[in-house]
């Protein structure tokens, strides 16, 4: 049995939903069937939250809400010939917004309640499309599957597993597609809650782990996790496979990949997660597993654009790490041969103010920088990357090379040199052995 998750761009239009339906048809022969987890159409969640705040604050909201509802009606009509399948949802959404306006305030509960309509719209339309195509399918409300603690997004794993098995097991039949929603859940008292950033990926991982899926397929608008940002490095290519730990490193150091925490349930259950392209379903994509991979095919380069580089002695580094306000923002700290220490911190306005206060009476040097990170290389290629990075240090005059491990290095460079550094390092660690 497979879990298929489709993100917002994958369900944003009628044509996109047709592509989703075709993918489901192609996967239908999977033993035990497929479970389909859908996000809201692209931009819908943000619009629903805006409507909630406007309604609760006494501002005009009706035009924005009507535009959103009409957009979903148009998608349904283009696919099905009419919007009848979602009219009850449209009415409920409109009534909910009016109730918030009458109440004259908004809060976390009303935001969650309104946000849930996005996934309910997309999943209802898809299930009706599958039925119209003659495919066996069942729509299941995710709030009947995923249970959180009261008034929090913290998932109750035991209760969720029990509910998933009870509700889904009778439906897990070869040829059947179970359609449900990502991002939304219910707390132990039955109130609607949302799961936060990356919530749909998290839903897919939770459900997949609960029913022991063979694999979880995350469909997006790109063909996997890339070896670098294609907008910066033209010859960047999807990685066939990466380890969960490498993905965490890549996400921490600037790569736009899956938020690692969202697939933790799948990793703990040793279920592979594959990142695929809805609009190019024949592409191999990237498989994320708990097994480490250290080959040239797993090397990746990422850029953290804005950091603050602080250098000083060991006492200074200890002082920085002792500051509770700064601790969550420390990217890394590293010792040098001269017993000085380097701390690299994410640069945002709040961090900068904390740095200024924390270092007021400490001798140090501080400058803005970027960090280019190479991850996933075997020792030989990591060594090559260090040599190339050292050459870059000579070229730019301001780079700082920090070996993180046998397979991971960081080059801290002037922001203007970051893209060039990424291209050079990518070429160094991804060329074939016969080209080295």
Q: pLDDT confidence of 417, banded at 50, 70, 90?
A: confident
Residue with the larger pLDDT of the pair 111 and 292: 111
Average pLDDT rounded to a whole number, residues 331-346: 58
More confident residue, 307 or 45: 45
Q: pLDDT digits over 194-216, tens only?
A: 998 778 999 999 999 999 999 99
Which pLDDT score is estimated for 390?
A: 67
Q: What is the mean pLDDT of residues 370-390?
A: 74
* Range with lowest mean pLDDT among 78-87, 139-148, 379-388: 379-388
Helices 44-56 and 108-132 sit at what angle, rounded to 10 degrees?
Answer: 140
pLDDT greater than 70 at residue 271: yes
Mean pLDDT along residues 117-133: 97
Mean per-residue pLDDT over the chain, rounded: 86
Local confidence band at 322 (pLDDT 50, 70, 90 cut-offs): confident
The 3 state secondary structure assigned to the chain is CEEEEECHHHHCCHHHHHHHHHHHHHHCCCCCCEEEEECCCCCHHHHHHHHHHHHHCCCCCHHHHHHHHHHHHHHHHHHHCCCHHHHHHHHHHHHHHHHHHHHCCCCHHHHHHHHHHHHHHHHHHHHHHHHHCCCCEEECCHHHCCEECCCCCCECHHHHHHHHHHHHHHHCCCCCEEEEECCEEEECCCCEEECCCCHHHHHHHHHHHHCCCCEEEEEECCCCCECCCCCCCCCCCECCEEEHHHHHHHHHCCCCCCCHHHHHHHHHCCCCEEEEECCCCCCCCEEEECCCCCCHHHCEEEEEEEEEEEEEEHHHHHHHHHCCCCHHHEEEEEECCCCEEEEEEECCHHHHHHHHHHCCCCCCEEEEEEEEEEECCCHHHHHHHHHHHHHHHHHHCCCEEEEEECCEEEEEECHHHHHHHHHHHHHHHHCCHHHC
pLDDT for res 153: 81
For residue 338, the model assigns a pLDDT of 45
For the domain spanning 2-221, the CATH number is 3.40.1160.10
Q: Would you say residue 185 has pLDDT above 90?
A: yes
Of 277-281, 346-350, 354-358, the one with minimum mean pLDDT is 346-350
pLDDT at site 391:
65
pLDDT recorded at residue 433? 47
Which residue has better confidence, 230 or 254?
Answer: 230
Q: How far apart are CA 30 and CA 102, in angstroms?
A: 49
425 vs 164, residue with greater confidence: 164
- Given pLDDT bands bounded at 50, 70 and 90, which one contains residue 6? very high
Predicted confidence band of residue 435 (pLDDT cuts 50, 70, 90): very low
The CATH architecture annotation of domain 297-435 reads: 2-Layer Sandwich (3.30)
> Do the beta carbons of residue 273 and residue 288 sit within 8 Å?
yes
pLDDT confidence of residue 328: 67
* pLDDT tens by residue, 424-434: 888 888 865 44
Q: How far apart are CA 123 and CA 6, in angstroms?
A: 10
Query: Closest Cα partner for 177 from 30, 275, 7?
Result: 30
What pLDDT shows up at residue 62? 96
Residue ranges covered by each domain of the chain? 2-221, 297-435
pLDDT: which is higher, 232 or 398: 232
Whether the domain at 2-221 and the domain at 297-435 fall into the same CATH topology: no
| Pairwise CA distance, residues 118 & 38, whole Å | 10
Size of the chain, expressed as the number of residues it contains? 436
- Residue that the structure tokens 């809201």 belong to: 40
- Can you state the angle between helices 108-132 and 87-103, rounded to 10 degrees? 170
Q: What is the pLDDT of residue 223?
A: 92
pTM equals 0.86
Q: 151 pLDDT band (50/70/90 cuts)?
A: confident
**Cα separation, 429 vs 412, whole angstroms:** 18
């Amino acid at each position: 049995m497979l879990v298929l998750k489709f993100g917002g761009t994958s369900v944003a239009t009628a044509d996109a939903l047709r592509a989703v339906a075709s993918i489901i048809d192609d996967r239908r022969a999977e033993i035990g069937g497929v479970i389909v987890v859908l996000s809201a159409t692209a931009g819908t969640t943000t619009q629903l939250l805006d409507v909630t705040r406007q309604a609760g604050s006494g501002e005009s909201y009706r035009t924005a809400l009507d535009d959103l509802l009409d957009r979903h009606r148009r998608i349904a009509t283009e696919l099905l010939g009419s919007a009848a399948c979602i009219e009850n949802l449209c009415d409920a959404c409109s009534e909910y917004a009016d109730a918030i306006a009458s109440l004259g305030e908004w809060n976390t509960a009303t935001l969650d309640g309104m946000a849930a309509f996005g996934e309910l719209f997309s999943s209802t339309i898809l299930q009706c499309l599958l039925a119209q195509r003659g495919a066996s399918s069942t729509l299941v409300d995710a709030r009947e599957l995923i249970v959180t603690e009261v008034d929090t997004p913290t998932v109750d794993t035991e209760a969720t597993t029990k509910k998933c098995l009870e509700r889904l097991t009778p439906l897990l039949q070869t040829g059947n597609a179970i359609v449900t929603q990502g991002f939304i859940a219910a707390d132990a008292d039955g109130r609607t809650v949302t799961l936060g950033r990356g919530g749909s990926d998290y839903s897919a991982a939770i459900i997949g782990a609960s029913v022991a899926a063979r694999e979880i397929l995350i469909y997006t608008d790109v063909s996997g996790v890339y070896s670098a940002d294609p907008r910066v490095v033209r010859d960047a290519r999807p990685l066939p496979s990466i380890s969960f730990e490498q993905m965490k490193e890549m996400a921490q150091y600037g790569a736009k990949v899956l938020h690692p925490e969202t697939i933790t349930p799948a990793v703990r259950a040793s279920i592979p997660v594959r990142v695929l392209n809805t609009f190019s379903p024949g592409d191999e994509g990237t498989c994320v597993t708990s097994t480490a991979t250290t080959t040239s095919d797993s090397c990746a380069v990422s850029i953290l654009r804005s950091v603050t580089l602080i250098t000083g002695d060991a006492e200074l580094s200890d002082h920085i790490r002792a500051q509770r306000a700064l601790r969550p923002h420390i990217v890394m700290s590293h010792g040098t041969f001269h017993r000085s220490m380097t701390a690299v911190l994410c640069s945002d306005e709040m961090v900068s103010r904390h740095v200024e206060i924390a270092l007021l009476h400490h001798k140090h040097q501080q400058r803005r920088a970027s960090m280019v990170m190479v991850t996933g290389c075997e020792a030989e290629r990591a060594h090559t990357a260090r040599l190339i990075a050292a050459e870059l240090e000579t070229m730019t005059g301001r780079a700082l090379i920090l070996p993180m491990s046998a397979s991971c290095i960081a080059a801290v460079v002037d922001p203007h040199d970051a893209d060039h550094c990424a291209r050079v390092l990518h070429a160094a660690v991804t060329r074939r052995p016969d080209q080295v």
